[in-house]
Amino acid sequence: MRIFYGCLALGMSLIVLAALWADPFFAHTGGFLGTWWGATLFADVIVGFIVFGGVIWLFEPRKSRAFLWIAALCILGNLVAALWIALNWQALSRHLRGQSSSGA
């Protein structure tokens, strides 16, 4: 799984770089974000950042490092989430396997 998430992060970063090279993002956001689907997509992204930022905050032992990861997540998006999971897969897996089945 670690390799899978690492490949996801790499692939996403290549797509982002290609898109930025081909067509600057901020040149087209006005029209799309003004629609209901644009607003829905934007809200979904923000909620995802908040939820995954909470996961990072809970699992990172050094809060200064957690803050940097969360800031990067807000700037670069889900490629940071995939990279963070790839780097922390073993610790996450051990922690989740050690939890009771009650989900608490």
Query: Is 18 among the domain residues?
Result: yes
- Does any domain span residue 50? yes
Please give the span between the terminal C-alpha atoms of the chain, in angstroms, as a whole number: 24
**Looking at residues 69-97, what average pLDDT do you find?**
90
The confidence score (pLDDT) of residue 25 equals 60
pTM: 0.68
98, part of any domain: no
What average pLDDT score do residues 84-97 get? 89
What Cα–Cα distance (Å) separates residue 29 from each residue in 50, 84, 85?
22, 28, 29
User: Within a domain: residue 102?
Assistant: no
Tell me whether residue 73 is in a domain.
Answer: yes
- The whole domain housing 22 covers 2-93
pLDDT by residue (tens digit) across 26-36?
A: 565 566 666 77
Tokens coding 31: 């029209």
Q: Is the residue at 103 inside a domain?
A: no
Residue-wise pLDDT for 73-85, tens only, equals 998 888 899 999 9
Nearest-angstrom CA–CA distance, 87 and 81: 10
CB atoms closer than 10 angstroms to residue 84: 23
| The token pair that represents 39 in the structure block | 């607003």
